Amino acid sequence: MKVVAQSASVASGGNWHDETTVLHGDAGLASDASVVAPIHYSATFRAGTADEFADMANTPRHPGFYTRYGNPVHKRVEAILAELEGTETALLMGSGMGAISTTILGLLSAGDHVIAQQRHYMSTSKLFEEVLPRFGVHSTIVDQTDLQAIAGAIRPGTKLIMVETPVNPTLSITDLAAVAELARPRGILTVADNTFASPLNQKPHALGIDIVVHSATKYFGGHHDITAGAVCCSRELAERIWTMHTTLGAVLSPMDAWLLLRGLRTLALRMERINANALGLAQWLQAQPKIEQVFYPGLQSHPQHELARRQMTGFGAVIAFSIKGGFEATSRFVSALKLATHAVSLGGVETLVVHTAAMWAGTMTEAQMQAAGIEPNFVRMSVGVEHIEDLKADLSAALKGDPQ
């Protein structure tokens, strides 16, 4: 089939605003006259001639050879994500963890040294602390808010620095430009998990980060209905990661890629409402007598608010807060919510709430939770696009419902 071999990134030549990119960034890849992209629900693609088959089989990241290698719907999503992140290209995968583990395994070998954060998405921490050591890749885990600690962890064999910002459980911020400045001159690759911010709020590549990874399950899909992941970087790095991807096989189904494309069309609109709702709610929560503390990068009370303002244009959906009265009061609070949905994940249209300590009680000891910074009375809320007054009313009733 006649489609361009690589993702045609920067469809507008880099001239569009993100609001336009999410709608038209894939226009150059349209294969017919339909206004909405067709779903290429096919695992394999026909070649016309022997020469064409040889070409399809031997072109890295060919969009129409075999779906584990690539699919035309993937290419359309990848074109939009590359343009949003300002990278040459993007590579879609079946989940955020698929994207992260494939990237890391694709770039490292036994004997390499990695610097990772003290706080990461839990499965990412597991990758660095439990999985990679089995393959001879060792990591130094540092406090992500301490640049000196990051600089001090660099040694001759350091190949990669992994960062994530903002990050659980208290939305701490990593200084992306400063990390890039430490890494670049030494030839160390940098990877940033930009899931919590989204490229609408933060563009790590523009700050010097080499590779941006995403759980597209979150804001990109935006409707809590698919899992997906993405890696945004240069063509050269993407080809190396893609080679590992064809081996590990964290493939996104064409249907889910299509749902992701549909979700992306409203990303800018959703982020606008989410940013406004979350900031409004964070400020409101701070004034509630039963709330102990609120963690949100957009609040002046956030210890890294100035840094957050420097590298972000909006602060995203996730607010963490603690309830007076400990684990039990927090448990009662989340059970009493009627509008906010009691479920994990983030970045979708519905507001979701979890009692963080309850989530990990089955797999972590109290000491482990303490080491991970998870207090028994922490609540994590991903603010959706509902009317803010309805959310306040729900939170207010659940806080009042507590007899303490």
Ligand X SMILES: *Cc1c(COP(=O)(O)O)cnc(C)c1O
Q: Give me the residues that bind ligand X (CB under 6 A), please.
A: 95-97, 121, 164, 193, 195-196, 215, 217-218, 227, 229
Closest CA to 346 of 126, 174, 172, 195: 195
Q: Report the residue number, 11 or 259, with the smaller CB distance to ligand X.
A: 259
Dmax (CA) of the chain: 76
* Choice among 121, 210, 332, 380 that is catalytic: 121
Shortest approach of ligand X to residue 210 CB, angstroms?
Answer: 18
41 annotated active-site: no
What are the tokens at 48? 């016309």
Q: Which of 68, 240, 262, 324 is catalytic?
A: 68
Minimum distance between the CB of residue 386 and ligand X, rounded to whole angstroms? Answer: 21
Of residues 10 and 271, the one with the C-beta less far from ligand X: 271
Residue nearest to ligand X (CB): 96
Nearest approach in angstroms of CB 14 to ligand X is 27
Nearer to ligand X, 29 or 357 (CB): 357
Integer CA distances (angstroms), 292 to 252, 287, 326, 330, in order: 42, 10, 10, 11
Instruction: Please identify which of the residues 18, 26, 175, 193 carries the catalytic annotation.
Output: 193
Known active-site residue 394: no
Phi-psi region of 61 (alpha: psi -120 to 50; beta: other; left: phi over 0): left
The secondary element (H helix, E strand) that includes residue 97 is helix 96-107
CA atoms of 128 and 157, how far apart (whole Å): 16
CB of 104 to ligand X, least distance (A): 12
Would you say 6 or 215 has its CB closer to ligand X?
215
Q: How far is the CB of 121 from ligand X (least distance, A)?
A: 3
What minimum distance in Å lies between the beta carbon of 204 and ligand X?
13
The smaller minimum CB distance to ligand X, of residues 8 and 99, is found at: 99
With respect to ligand X, which residue has the nearer C-beta, 67 or 95? 95
Q: Which of 61, 75, 203, 218 is catalytic?
A: 218
Sheet holding 378-382, edge to edge: 291-295, 318-323, 378-382, 352-355, 341-342
193 is catalytic: yes
Match 């017919």 to its residue by tokens: 32
Residues with Cβ within 8 Å of 84's Cβ and at least 6 positions away in sequence, in order, are 18, 21, 22, 25, 199, 200, 232
Kindly state the tokens that stand for 277: 């709702």
Rg (CA), the chain: 22
Which residues are designated catalytic? 68, 121, 193, 218
